[in-house]
Structure 1
Amino acid sequence: MSLTGRWRIVEMDVWDREAIDLVGPGFIEFADDGTGQFGFIAVRGWMDCRTTERDSRTVVEFSWEGEDEGDQAVGRGWAALIDDTTLEGHIFFHMGDDSAFRAEPFACADQRDER
């Protein structure tokens, strides 16, 4: 399976689910053209992505720029496909916070949220 598509951020080390979904459902999205975007809390980022293989897994490494509560923000991160329904990664803010995250395809996460 490819990482391409929109993934629902369901867990982060630093912030709880309520914080992650403060402005809208937390997400990370990868496009076929090597770009992407993410949003959680009051953070919005646009990514420049590079796909590689590591330990027989598909991994995307990215740099990003965006905003955090209206202030300019930049950083880097990575995401790895664990299985067809789990994406794990880490987002770093330049000179600031960082957090691991876990995400699922939106359809899987939405079905679980409705239970």
Structure 2
Amino acid sequence: MRKFIGRWRIKWMEMWDQDFVDLIEPGYFHFDENGLGFFVFGAVQGQIDYRISDDGARVEFSWSGNDDGREKTGRGWFQLQSSRLAKGHFFIHCGDESAIEIEH
């Protein structure tokens, strides 16, 4: 479980360029030890509730937060590629979705 704990920098998103990802501050995901966490990219921010697979190589999450002040929810997942890189997908309920890469 400890593989995902901590702050992960968003390195790439298919839907949005890096200037947007880093609009307010450098985009990131943070996974706390208690199954909760948070993220920020562009004008989107939210709290996450996550579960890690038994082998520790995949995390799935739901989230609630806002996009430029409008309430939003969604889900997503990451699969470890190495100890420092994970790839996945981020979904906004009834909205955009994007492939995503994060680095620890």
> TM-score if structure 1 supplies the norm length?
0.85
CA RMSD of aligned residues (A): 1.2
8 Å CA contact retained: 1:75, 1:94: yes
User: What is residue 8 of structure 2 aligned with on the other side?
Assistant: 7
Whichever of the two has the greater Rg, that structure is: 1
8 Å CA contact retained: 1:12, 1:99: yes
User: What is residue 95 of structure 2 aligned with on the other side?
Assistant: 96
Aligned positions of 1:78-97 closer than 5 A:
78-97=77-96
User: What is residue 64 of structure 1 aligned with on the other side?
Assistant: 63
Aligned-pair CA distance for 1:57: 5.8
Quick one: distance in 1 between partners of 2:50 and 2:100?
Answer: 17
Quick one: distance in 2 between partners of 1:36 and 1:88?
Answer: 18
User: What is residue 42 of structure 1 aligned with on the other side?
Assistant: 43
Percent identity of paired positions between Structure 1 and Structure 2? 43
User: What is residue 108 of structure 1 aligned with on the other side?
Assistant: none
8 Å CA contact retained: 2:63, 2:73: yes
Quick one: distance in 1 between partners of 2:32 and 2:95?
Answer: 27
Aligned pair count reads 103
Quick one: distance in 2 between partners of 1:90 and 1:72?
Answer: 20
Aligned-pair CA distance for 1:2: 0.4
**Structure 2 residue 33 is the aligned partner of structure 1 residue 32:** yes
SS of residue in 1 equivalent to 2:76: strand
The one-letter code of the counterpart of 1:40 is F
> TM-score if structure 2 supplies the norm length?
0.93
Quick one: distance in 2 between partners of 1:31 and 1:80?
Answer: 17
* Residue range with higher mean Cα deviation, 38-47 or 80-89: 80-89
